Structure 1
Amino acid sequence: MDMQSGTVEEALDKAAAVGVTAVVQVGCDLERSRWAAEVAGRHENVHATVALHPNEAPRIRREEGPGALDAALDEIAALAALPQVRGVGETGLDYFRTGADGIEAQTYSFRRHLRIAKEVGKALVIHDRDAHQDVLRVLREEGAPGTVVFHCFSGDAAMAEECAAAGYYMSFAGNVTFKSAQPLRDALAVAPLDLLLVETDAPFLTPAPYRGRPNAPYLIPVTLRAMAAVKGVDEDELATAVAANTARAFGCPPPR
Protein backbone atom coordinates (compact mmCIF):
# COMPACT_ATOMS: atom_id res chain seq x y z
CA MET A 1 0.00 0.00 0.00
CA ASP A 2 1.06 3.58 -0.60
CA MET A 3 0.75 5.78 2.50
CA GLN A 4 0.10 8.79 0.26
CA SER A 5 -2.79 7.39 -1.82
CA GLY A 6 -6.31 6.95 -0.47
CA THR A 7 -7.12 5.27 2.83
CA VAL A 8 -5.92 1.96 4.19
CA GLU A 9 -9.50 0.77 4.40
CA GLU A 10 -10.13 1.54 0.72
CA ALA A 11 -7.00 -0.32 -0.32
CA LEU A 12 -7.87 -3.34 1.81
CA ASP A 13 -11.46 -3.43 0.53
CA LYS A 14 -10.32 -3.36 -3.11
CA ALA A 15 -7.78 -6.07 -2.41
CA ALA A 16 -10.29 -8.29 -0.60
CA ALA A 17 -12.68 -7.95 -3.54
CA VAL A 18 -10.20 -9.88 -5.70
CA GLY A 19 -9.25 -12.42 -3.04
CA VAL A 20 -6.21 -10.67 -1.50
CA THR A 21 -7.17 -10.83 2.17
CA ALA A 22 -3.87 -10.05 3.91
CA VAL A 23 -0.92 -7.79 3.09
CA VAL A 24 2.59 -7.12 4.35
CA GLN A 25 3.29 -3.38 4.54
CA VAL A 26 7.00 -2.72 4.08
CA GLY A 27 8.85 0.15 5.75
CA CYS A 28 11.72 1.92 3.99
CA ASP A 29 12.54 4.82 6.32
CA LEU A 30 11.67 5.86 9.86
CA GLU A 31 8.45 7.64 8.93
CA ARG A 32 7.12 4.78 6.81
CA SER A 33 8.28 2.15 9.28
CA ARG A 34 6.42 3.89 12.10
CA TRP A 35 3.37 4.13 9.84
CA ALA A 36 3.57 0.45 8.83
CA ALA A 37 3.73 -0.63 12.47
CA GLU A 38 0.85 1.67 13.39
CA VAL A 39 -1.36 0.41 10.55
CA ALA A 40 -0.56 -3.23 11.33
CA GLY A 41 -1.49 -2.59 14.94
CA ARG A 42 -4.95 -1.43 13.85
CA HIS A 43 -5.70 -4.09 11.20
CA GLU A 44 -5.33 -7.80 11.90
CA ASN A 45 -4.93 -8.56 8.18
CA VAL A 46 -2.00 -6.12 7.80
CA HIS A 47 1.50 -7.16 8.87
CA ALA A 48 4.46 -4.79 8.97
CA THR A 49 8.15 -4.87 8.23
CA VAL A 50 10.43 -2.03 9.29
CA ALA A 51 13.80 -0.80 8.05
CA LEU A 52 15.91 1.91 6.49
CA HIS A 53 16.10 1.46 2.72
CA PRO A 54 19.72 1.05 1.56
CA ASN A 55 19.71 4.52 0.05
CA GLU A 56 18.58 6.01 3.37
CA ALA A 57 21.81 5.04 5.15
CA PRO A 58 24.22 7.23 3.15
CA ARG A 59 21.66 10.05 3.07
CA ILE A 60 21.33 10.06 6.87
CA ARG A 61 25.09 9.96 7.36
CA ARG A 62 25.63 12.73 4.83
CA GLU A 63 22.87 15.04 6.06
CA GLU A 64 22.62 14.22 9.77
CA GLY A 65 25.94 12.61 10.73
CA PRO A 66 27.08 9.09 11.72
CA GLY A 67 25.40 9.28 15.12
CA ALA A 68 22.05 9.87 13.47
CA LEU A 69 22.35 6.62 11.50
CA ASP A 70 22.96 4.61 14.67
CA ALA A 71 20.03 6.35 16.38
CA ALA A 72 17.76 5.54 13.45
CA LEU A 73 18.87 1.91 13.49
CA ASP A 74 18.18 1.75 17.22
CA GLU A 75 14.62 2.90 16.57
CA ILE A 76 14.24 0.28 13.84
CA ALA A 77 15.35 -2.35 16.36
CA ALA A 78 12.69 -1.15 18.83
CA LEU A 79 9.98 -1.22 16.15
CA ALA A 80 11.10 -4.68 14.99
CA ALA A 81 10.35 -6.08 18.44
CA LEU A 82 6.65 -5.14 18.22
CA PRO A 83 4.34 -8.15 17.77
CA GLN A 84 2.60 -6.77 14.67
CA VAL A 85 5.98 -6.32 12.95
CA ARG A 86 6.77 -9.54 11.11
CA GLY A 87 10.04 -8.69 9.42
CA VAL A 88 13.05 -6.43 9.11
CA GLY A 89 13.27 -4.80 5.70
CA GLU A 90 13.56 -3.63 3.14
CA THR A 91 17.29 -3.54 3.70
CA GLY A 92 20.26 -4.59 1.63
CA LEU A 93 22.38 -2.94 -1.05
CA ASP A 94 21.49 -0.68 -3.97
CA TYR A 95 24.28 0.27 -6.36
CA PHE A 96 21.91 1.78 -8.93
CA ARG A 97 21.32 5.13 -7.22
CA THR A 98 24.13 5.21 -4.66
CA GLY A 99 27.71 5.63 -5.84
CA ALA A 100 30.89 4.17 -4.42
CA ASP A 101 30.94 6.78 -1.65
CA GLY A 102 27.71 5.34 -0.22
CA ILE A 103 28.64 1.64 -0.20
CA GLU A 104 30.24 1.65 3.25
CA ALA A 105 27.18 3.21 4.89
CA GLN A 106 24.86 0.84 3.04
CA THR A 107 26.88 -2.19 4.09
CA TYR A 108 27.04 -1.04 7.71
CA SER A 109 23.27 -0.52 7.75
CA PHE A 110 22.62 -3.89 6.06
CA ARG A 111 24.74 -5.74 8.61
CA ARG A 112 22.93 -3.99 11.48
CA HIS A 113 19.53 -4.89 10.04
CA LEU A 114 20.64 -8.48 9.58
CA ARG A 115 21.66 -8.70 13.22
CA ILE A 116 18.40 -7.10 14.32
CA ALA A 117 16.44 -9.72 12.37
CA LYS A 118 18.33 -12.48 14.15
CA GLU A 119 17.87 -10.83 17.55
CA VAL A 120 14.08 -10.56 17.19
CA GLY A 121 13.71 -13.85 15.29
CA LYS A 122 11.90 -12.38 12.30
CA ALA A 123 12.25 -12.43 8.52
CA LEU A 124 14.92 -10.37 6.79
CA VAL A 125 13.48 -8.62 3.71
CA ILE A 126 16.19 -7.72 1.22
CA HIS A 127 16.35 -4.95 -1.35
CA ASP A 128 18.99 -5.94 -3.91
CA ARG A 129 19.63 -3.74 -6.92
CA ASP A 130 22.74 -4.24 -9.04
CA ALA A 131 24.43 -5.79 -5.99
CA HIS A 132 23.61 -9.50 -6.16
CA GLN A 133 26.97 -11.00 -5.26
CA ASP A 134 27.72 -8.49 -2.49
CA VAL A 135 24.31 -9.12 -0.91
CA LEU A 136 24.91 -12.88 -0.96
CA ARG A 137 28.43 -12.37 0.40
CA VAL A 138 27.21 -10.32 3.39
CA LEU A 139 24.59 -12.99 4.14
CA ARG A 140 27.33 -15.62 4.17
CA GLU A 141 29.70 -13.52 6.28
CA GLU A 142 27.11 -12.55 8.90
CA GLY A 143 25.19 -15.81 8.86
CA ALA A 144 21.67 -15.44 7.50
CA PRO A 145 18.67 -15.40 9.84
CA GLY A 146 16.21 -18.27 9.70
CA THR A 147 14.07 -16.55 7.08
CA VAL A 148 15.33 -14.44 4.18
CA VAL A 149 13.05 -12.84 1.59
CA PHE A 150 14.41 -11.26 -1.58
CA HIS A 151 11.94 -8.43 -2.15
CA CYS A 152 11.19 -7.64 -5.80
CA PHE A 153 13.58 -10.36 -6.93
CA SER A 154 15.78 -9.08 -9.75
CA GLY A 155 18.36 -11.81 -10.28
CA ASP A 156 18.76 -14.25 -13.13
CA ALA A 157 18.21 -18.01 -13.20
CA ALA A 158 21.64 -18.74 -11.75
CA MET A 159 20.96 -16.46 -8.78
CA ALA A 160 17.52 -18.01 -8.30
CA GLU A 161 19.17 -21.41 -8.06
CA GLU A 162 21.68 -20.07 -5.53
CA CYS A 163 18.90 -18.56 -3.43
CA ALA A 164 16.89 -21.77 -3.63
CA ALA A 165 19.87 -23.80 -2.42
CA ALA A 166 20.11 -21.49 0.61
CA GLY A 167 16.36 -21.67 1.27
CA TYR A 168 15.74 -17.99 0.57
CA TYR A 169 12.27 -16.86 -0.49
CA MET A 170 11.97 -14.99 -3.79
CA SER A 171 9.20 -12.42 -4.14
CA PHE A 172 8.17 -11.38 -7.65
CA ALA A 173 6.42 -8.15 -8.62
CA GLY A 174 4.56 -6.81 -11.64
CA ASN A 175 7.73 -6.37 -13.67
CA VAL A 176 7.67 -10.12 -14.32
CA THR A 177 4.99 -9.25 -16.89
CA PHE A 178 7.14 -6.74 -18.79
CA LYS A 179 8.23 -7.71 -22.31
CA SER A 180 11.84 -6.87 -21.45
CA ALA A 181 11.87 -9.13 -18.38
CA GLN A 182 12.68 -12.53 -19.91
CA PRO A 183 15.68 -13.06 -17.57
CA LEU A 184 13.33 -12.50 -14.64
CA ARG A 185 10.87 -15.05 -16.03
CA ASP A 186 13.78 -17.47 -16.48
CA ALA A 187 14.58 -17.01 -12.79
CA LEU A 188 10.95 -17.58 -11.85
CA ALA A 189 10.88 -20.76 -13.94
CA VAL A 190 13.62 -22.39 -11.85
CA ALA A 191 12.51 -21.05 -8.44
CA PRO A 192 10.84 -23.77 -6.31
CA LEU A 193 7.12 -23.39 -5.69
CA ASP A 194 7.61 -23.50 -1.92
CA LEU A 195 9.93 -20.47 -2.01
CA LEU A 196 7.76 -18.14 -4.13
CA LEU A 197 6.05 -14.98 -2.95
CA VAL A 198 4.19 -12.24 -4.85
CA GLU A 199 4.09 -8.49 -4.19
CA THR A 200 3.22 -5.10 -5.64
CA ASP A 201 6.16 -2.82 -4.78
CA ALA A 202 3.32 -0.27 -4.75
CA PRO A 203 2.95 2.22 -6.23
CA PHE A 204 5.62 0.99 -8.67
CA LEU A 205 6.01 -1.92 -11.13
CA THR A 206 2.35 -2.08 -12.12
CA PRO A 207 1.81 -5.27 -14.15
CA ALA A 208 0.90 -5.21 -17.83
CA PRO A 209 -1.59 -4.33 -19.23
CA TYR A 210 -2.19 -1.78 -16.44
CA ARG A 211 1.15 0.04 -16.62
CA GLY A 212 0.68 3.78 -16.17
CA ARG A 213 -1.61 3.54 -13.16
CA PRO A 214 -0.36 3.24 -9.56
CA ASN A 215 0.21 -0.33 -8.44
CA ALA A 216 -1.87 -1.61 -5.52
CA PRO A 217 -2.77 -4.93 -3.83
CA TYR A 218 -5.91 -5.38 -5.96
CA LEU A 219 -3.64 -5.98 -8.96
CA ILE A 220 -1.85 -8.92 -7.31
CA PRO A 221 -4.02 -11.47 -9.20
CA VAL A 222 -2.70 -10.07 -12.50
CA THR A 223 0.90 -10.69 -11.47
CA LEU A 224 0.07 -14.07 -9.98
CA ARG A 225 -1.68 -15.14 -13.20
CA ALA A 226 1.43 -14.30 -15.20
CA MET A 227 3.61 -16.17 -12.70
CA ALA A 228 1.41 -19.26 -12.96
CA ALA A 229 1.79 -19.23 -16.73
CA VAL A 230 5.59 -19.12 -16.42
CA LYS A 231 5.57 -21.95 -13.87
CA GLY A 232 3.09 -24.01 -15.89
CA VAL A 233 0.79 -24.49 -12.90
CA ASP A 234 -2.84 -23.72 -12.20
CA GLU A 235 -3.50 -20.25 -10.79
CA ASP A 236 -5.28 -21.67 -7.75
CA GLU A 237 -2.37 -24.00 -7.06
CA LEU A 238 0.08 -21.11 -7.14
CA ALA A 239 -2.19 -18.89 -5.04
CA THR A 240 -2.46 -21.62 -2.40
CA ALA A 241 1.29 -22.11 -2.35
CA VAL A 242 2.01 -18.38 -2.12
CA ALA A 243 -0.46 -17.95 0.75
CA ALA A 244 1.18 -20.79 2.67
CA ASN A 245 4.67 -19.46 1.90
CA THR A 246 3.71 -15.97 3.09
CA ALA A 247 2.30 -17.32 6.34
CA ARG A 248 5.42 -19.40 6.91
CA ALA A 249 7.90 -16.66 5.97
CA PHE A 250 6.34 -13.97 8.13
CA GLY A 251 5.15 -16.14 11.00
CA CYS A 252 1.55 -15.09 10.62
CA PRO A 253 -1.59 -17.22 10.25
CA PRO A 254 -3.00 -17.77 6.75
CA PRO A 255 -5.73 -15.22 5.90
CA ARG A 256 -9.25 -16.14 6.86
Structure 2
Amino acid sequence: MRLLDSHCHPITAVRAGTLGPWLEQVKAAGVEGVVAIGTDLDDWSDYRRLTHDHPNFFRHTVGLHPCHVTEGWEDAVMALSPFFADSVAPAALGEIGLDYFRLPADAAEAVQVKA
Protein backbone atom coordinates (compact mmCIF):
# COMPACT_ATOMS: atom_id res chain seq x y z
CA MET A 1 0.00 0.00 0.00
CA ARG A 2 1.26 3.50 -0.87
CA LEU A 3 0.95 6.23 1.75
CA LEU A 4 0.18 9.86 0.94
CA ASP A 5 -0.38 12.49 3.60
CA SER A 6 -3.19 14.48 2.04
CA HIS A 7 -3.19 17.27 4.64
CA CYS A 8 -0.06 18.45 6.39
CA HIS A 9 1.51 21.72 7.50
CA PRO A 10 5.32 21.42 7.25
CA ILE A 11 5.78 25.20 7.51
CA THR A 12 7.32 24.91 10.98
CA ALA A 13 10.07 22.64 9.63
CA VAL A 14 10.59 24.92 6.63
CA ARG A 15 10.98 28.05 8.75
CA ALA A 16 13.07 26.35 11.43
CA GLY A 17 15.50 25.02 8.83
CA THR A 18 14.72 21.43 9.79
CA LEU A 19 13.03 20.29 6.60
CA GLY A 20 15.78 17.75 5.87
CA PRO A 21 15.30 15.79 9.11
CA TRP A 22 11.52 16.17 8.79
CA LEU A 23 11.62 14.65 5.30
CA GLU A 24 13.83 11.80 6.52
CA GLN A 25 11.34 10.96 9.28
CA VAL A 26 8.33 11.13 7.00
CA LYS A 27 9.95 8.99 4.32
CA ALA A 28 11.24 6.50 6.92
CA ALA A 29 7.63 6.07 8.03
CA GLY A 30 6.76 4.99 4.49
CA VAL A 31 5.07 8.18 3.29
CA GLU A 32 5.65 8.62 -0.44
CA GLY A 33 4.20 12.10 -0.84
CA VAL A 34 2.47 14.92 0.96
CA VAL A 35 0.09 17.75 0.20
CA ALA A 36 1.19 20.88 2.05
CA ILE A 37 -1.94 22.85 2.91
CA GLY A 38 -1.64 26.61 2.65
CA THR A 39 -3.38 28.50 5.43
CA ASP A 40 -2.51 32.10 4.63
CA LEU A 41 -0.58 34.29 2.22
CA ASP A 42 2.56 33.88 4.34
CA ASP A 43 3.02 30.18 3.56
CA TRP A 44 1.87 29.94 -0.06
CA SER A 45 5.26 30.82 -1.58
CA ASP A 46 7.09 28.50 0.81
CA TYR A 47 4.88 25.60 -0.24
CA ARG A 48 5.22 26.47 -3.93
CA ARG A 49 9.00 26.34 -3.46
CA LEU A 50 8.73 22.92 -1.77
CA THR A 51 6.74 21.60 -4.73
CA HIS A 52 9.28 23.08 -7.13
CA ASP A 53 12.26 21.65 -5.24
CA HIS A 54 10.68 18.22 -4.55
CA PRO A 55 8.23 17.67 -7.44
CA ASN A 56 7.96 13.93 -6.88
CA PHE A 57 7.11 14.30 -3.20
CA PHE A 58 5.25 17.56 -2.53
CA ARG A 59 2.06 19.06 -3.83
CA HIS A 60 0.63 22.22 -2.30
CA THR A 61 -2.54 24.22 -1.92
CA VAL A 62 -3.31 27.88 -1.34
CA GLY A 63 -6.13 29.04 0.88
CA LEU A 64 -7.14 30.89 4.02
CA HIS A 65 -7.73 29.02 7.24
CA PRO A 66 -10.61 30.59 9.19
CA CYS A 67 -8.23 31.35 12.06
CA HIS A 68 -6.03 33.40 9.71
CA VAL A 69 -8.76 35.59 8.27
CA THR A 70 -7.99 39.06 9.55
CA GLU A 71 -8.56 42.62 8.47
CA GLY A 72 -7.32 42.97 4.92
CA TRP A 73 -8.31 39.41 3.98
CA GLU A 74 -9.58 40.72 0.66
CA ASP A 75 -5.99 41.31 -0.46
CA ALA A 76 -5.11 37.69 0.29
CA VAL A 77 -8.12 36.46 -1.69
CA MET A 78 -7.06 38.61 -4.65
CA ALA A 79 -3.57 37.06 -4.45
CA LEU A 80 -4.94 33.52 -4.96
CA SER A 81 -5.45 33.61 -8.74
CA PRO A 82 -1.84 34.30 -9.78
CA PHE A 83 -0.70 31.19 -7.92
CA PHE A 84 -2.89 29.05 -10.20
CA ALA A 85 -1.28 30.62 -13.29
CA ASP A 86 2.21 29.80 -11.99
CA SER A 87 4.31 27.05 -13.58
CA VAL A 88 4.21 25.28 -10.20
CA ALA A 89 0.46 25.62 -9.69
CA PRO A 90 -1.33 24.49 -6.53
CA ALA A 91 -3.05 21.12 -6.58
CA ALA A 92 -6.17 22.62 -5.04
CA LEU A 93 -7.78 25.56 -3.28
CA GLY A 94 -7.66 25.12 0.47
CA GLU A 95 -7.51 25.52 3.43
CA ILE A 96 -11.06 26.82 3.40
CA GLY A 97 -12.73 24.71 6.09
CA LEU A 98 -14.96 25.86 8.87
CA ASP A 99 -13.68 24.87 12.28
CA TYR A 100 -16.88 24.44 14.25
CA PHE A 101 -14.91 23.25 17.28
CA ARG A 102 -13.77 26.88 17.63
CA LEU A 103 -17.29 28.20 18.00
CA PRO A 104 -18.08 30.54 20.89
CA ALA A 105 -18.95 28.88 24.22
CA ASP A 106 -22.30 30.67 24.35
CA ALA A 107 -24.78 28.32 22.62
CA ALA A 108 -26.94 31.09 21.16
CA GLU A 109 -23.92 32.89 19.72
CA ALA A 110 -22.54 29.61 18.34
CA VAL A 111 -25.80 28.95 16.46
CA GLN A 112 -25.66 32.42 14.94
CA VAL A 113 -22.04 31.98 13.86
CA LYS A 114 -22.87 28.61 12.29
CA ALA A 115 -25.72 30.16 10.35
- TM-score band, normalised by shorter chain: 0.5 to 0.7
Q: Distance in 1 between matches of 2:79 and 2:65?
A: 14
Say yes or no: does 1:56 pair with 2:61.
no
Match of 1:26 in 2: 37
Contact 2:39–2:95 (CA<8 Å) still a contact in 1? yes
Q: Distance in 1 between matches of 2:22 and 2:75?
A: 32
* Aligned CA-pair RMSD: 2.7
For residue 42 of structure 1, the aligned residue among 42, 46, 53 is: 53
* Pair 1:70–1:76, CA change in 2 (3 A): same
Per-residue Cα deviation, 1:144-198 (whole angstroms, up to 9, x for no partner): xxxxxxxxxxxxxxxxxxxxxxxxxxxxxxxxxxxxxxxxxxxxxxxxxxxxxxx
Structure 1 gap segments, 5+ residues each:
62-67, 104-130, 135-256
Superposition map of 1:100-115 within 5 A: 103=113
> What is the number of equivalent residue pairs in this alignment?
97
Per-residue Cα deviation, 1:172-228 (whole angstroms, up to 9, x for no partner): xxxxxxxxxxxxxxxxxxxxxxxxxxxxxxxxxxxxxxxxxxxxxxxxxxxxxxxxx
Match of 2:5 in 1: none
Deviation at 1:36, TM superposition (A): 1.2
Q: Distance in 2 between matches of 1:19 and 1:94?
A: 30
Letter in 2 for 1:43: H
Higher relative contact order (CA 8 A, sep 6+): 2
Runs of 4+ in 1 over 6 A off after TM superposition: none
Say yes or no: does 1:97 pair with 2:108.
no
In the superposition, the TM-score normalised over structure 1's length comes to: 0.33
Contact 1:55–1:97 (CA<8 Å) still a contact in 2? no
Deviation at 1:70, TM superposition (A): 1.4
Which moves more between the two structures, 29-38 or 2-11?
2-11
Q: Distance in 2 between matches of 1:24 and 1:92?
A: 16
Q: Distance in 2 between matches of 1:41 and 1:84?
A: 10
For residue 79 of structure 1, the aligned residue among 41, 66, 83 is: 83
Match of 2:73 in 1: 69
In the superposition, the TM-score normalised over structure 2's length comes to: 0.67
Contact 2:83–2:89 (CA<8 Å) still a contact in 1? no
Q: Distance in 1 between matches of 2:43 and 2:103?
A: 20
Match of 2:28 in 1: 17
Per-residue Cα deviation, 1:101-135 (whole angstroms, up to 9, x for no partner): 9x5xxxxxxxxxxxxxxxxxxxxxxxxxxx6xx6x
Deviation at 1:88, TM superposition (A): 0.9
Deviation at 1:98, TM superposition (A): 5.2
* Pair 1:51–1:42, CA change in 2 (3 A): same
Higher helix share: 1
Structure 2 gap segments, 5+ residues each:
1-8
Contact 2:64–2:95 (CA<8 Å) still a contact in 1? yes
Say yes or no: does 1:8 pair with 2:19.
yes
Q: Distance in 2 between matches of 1:20 and 1:69?
A: 34
Larger Rg: 1
Letter in 2 for 1:74: M
Q: Distance in 2 between matches of 1:27 and 1:70?
A: 16
Q: Secondary structure at the match of 2:32?
A: coil
Contact 2:44–2:61 (CA<8 Å) still a contact in 1? yes
* Pair 1:98–1:80, CA change in 2 (3 A): farther
